[in-house]
Chain A
Amino acid sequence: MSRREGLEISAACAEAVALADVDVIAAYPITPQTHIVEHLARKVADGLLDAEYILAESEHSAMSCCIGSSAAGARTFTATAGPGLALMSEMLFVASGLRLPVVMALVNRTLSSPLSIWGDQSDVMSVRDCGWIVFFAENGQEVFDMTIQAFRIAEDERVLFPAMVCLDGFHLSHLVEPVEILDREEVDSFLPPYNPKYRLDPHNPTTMGAFAPPEFFSEIKKRQDEELRSSYHVILEVWGEWEKRFGRSYAPLSQYRSEDAEVILLMAGAFAGTARLAIDRLREKGLRVGLASLKLWRPFPREYLVDALGRAEVVCVVDRALSVGGAGGPIANELRAAFHDVADCPRVVSFVAGLSGRDIMVEGFMEMMEKALSYARDEEMPYYEMYGVRE
């Protein structure tokens, strides 16, 4: 039987990894991810988890270890944050190109400079095109659930892609919340042992990571792209099974009071929890507003977003990442692109807020939604706006 427990969310993540019975954990500790790997290191040291724990000398090496162990057929996990992700970025592309189902917890932390240990989503957005499946969790239960789901999805023979679960640095990683922890039998019934279709085997030699000349490279990337896109259907299928077994439903968007909404607030991660309160307050004032919390970033759920958000008048996107010198927040940008050939589509208003751990309060979300409506109606919309920045 599952048990409900008050846990730091990093510990809940580690519980999920242990229940997934991983074979190899290779990581380099970095704030605010450290607690996850500390919990796992302790489990291995105490004999509670039969896995190799590799303390790598850098994140580049950590991901390289993950690639090697996954290629050898081991269920493999790592965790990192912000600058650590940046350092492993070269190898992220390799893991995806080699189609290795490594699972990573990415504890979102901002990229320097200025030096900052606090959270935002600039790290994951910097590796937007690395070819991993990317999930965003909003609370501790989602971190636990998505971590187990990630192994099942990544290892599915129709998928075979690495997957990362994003959780906000500190706002999730260091928060204590009640989390329903599944028991061993429940996890085993959902997640079979990893039985790799392809792996390095001295008795059956194969080459992984071969050189490809220009006349083959594009075809190889085309196949990678098509197959990452089609993993979408497997993700939905696995989420459906999860709901049937454990009663918690997952979808590319978690929506709140958005059915008849004129203004839908779209964002990813923990701050959507606060945003729900802002929706209630604005509804009390008579404004038809709703929330869509993004759970799946890659493969990009374009049709789902167009369908779910298309009826609104305005989509107010709050990105916790700044594309410096770019064309707006990353999620807003991709949503605009998704709508580009859709007639009568909503106006997409782009706010960049909550950088480097700065809180967005209920009033902040209320103000952004009211501003978004007025920008859209007055047609004096800035391309994007950094919200709450002092003049």
Chain B
Amino acid sequence: MSNLQGWKDINHACMVFHPGNASEYHTGDWRSMRPVIDREKCIKCRICWAFCPDAAVRIGENGEYHIDYDYCKGCGICAYECPREAIEMIEEC
């Protein structure tokens, strides 16, 4: 919390003068359960990528799947939908 703005530095009326900055807010902080992909089981079917409500499933240059934990809220939809049960939800500690 220490690097957050104090009340005198907050913009007038909480206005946002630089549109499109929502990406600076890392909603991954909300997560209590973390999805972890088992690459051995993953068949790269893109079901998790399609279902993720936060577009937090990313496909790397070599076609490998990974989760963007800056924005993954841990909803578990990917793990529920995965036809190979290749995604496990693990408690954040």
Contacts and interface: CB of A to CB of B under 8 A. Distances in A.
Tell whether A pairs with B.
Answer: yes
Interface of A: 97-99, 160, 198, 205-210, 212-213, 215-216, 218-220, 222-224, 226
A98 to B, nearest CB: 5
A257 B66 CA distance: 79
Given A222-B7, A223-B8, A216 B17 contact: no
B93 interface: no
Interface in B1-45: 1, 4-8, 10, 12-17, 19, 25
Interface residues of B, number: 15
A210 B19 contact: no
14 contacts: A97-B14, A99-B13, A160-B12, A206-B15, A206-B17, A208-B13, A210-B15, A210-B16, A212-B14, A216-B5, A216-B10, A218-B7, A219-B7, A223-B7
Contacts of B8: 223
A198 B12 contact: yes
A214 to B, nearest CB: 11
A193 B6 CA distance: 34
B16 A206 contact: yes
A309 to B, nearest CB: 32
Contacts of A223: 7-8, 10
Given A198-B12, A215-B4, 10 more contacts: A98-B13, A160-B13, A198-B13, A206-B16, A207-B16, A209-B14, A216-B10, A219-B4, A219-B7, A220-B14
Contacts of A216: 4-5, 10, 14
A198 to B, nearest CB: 6
A369 to B, nearest CB: 44
B5 A219 contact: yes
A101 to B, nearest CB: 11
Nearest to A99: B13
Q: Tell me which of B1, B5, B7, B13 has the highest count of chain A C-beta atoms within 10 A of its own C-beta.
A: B13
A281 to B, nearest CB: 50
Interface of B: 1, 4-8, 10, 12-17, 19, 25
Contacts of A226: 7
Chain B residues touching A, majority SS: loop
Report the 7 A-B pairs with minimum CB-CB distance, sorted nearest first: A207-B16, A99-B13, A222-B7, A219-B7, A223-B7, A220-B14, A205-B19
Contacts of B1: 215
A222 B10 CA distance: 10
Nearest to A204: B17
Nearest to A97: B13
Nearest to B30: A213
Nearest to A226: B7
A248 B25 CA distance: 52
A215 B14 CA distance: 13
B6 A219 contact: yes
Most buried by B among A207, A209, A220: A207
B12 A220 contact: no
Contact of A99 (B6, B7, B12, B16): B12
Given A215-B1, A215-B4, A220 B16 contact: no
Nearest to A98: B13
A220 B12 CA distance: 9
Nearest to A100: B13
A160 B11 CA distance: 14
Nearest to B27: A213
A208 B25 CA distance: 17
A219 B13 CA distance: 11
A215 to B, nearest CB: 6
Contacts of B7: 218-220, 222-223, 226
A365 B85 CA distance: 80
Contacts of A208: 13, 15
B34 to A, nearest CB: 20
A223 B10 CA distance: 8
A305 B45 CA distance: 72
A98 B14 CA distance: 8
Nearest to A225: B7
A210 B14 contact: yes
A213 B14 CA distance: 11
Interface centre among B5, B7, B14, B15 (most CB of A within 10 A): B14
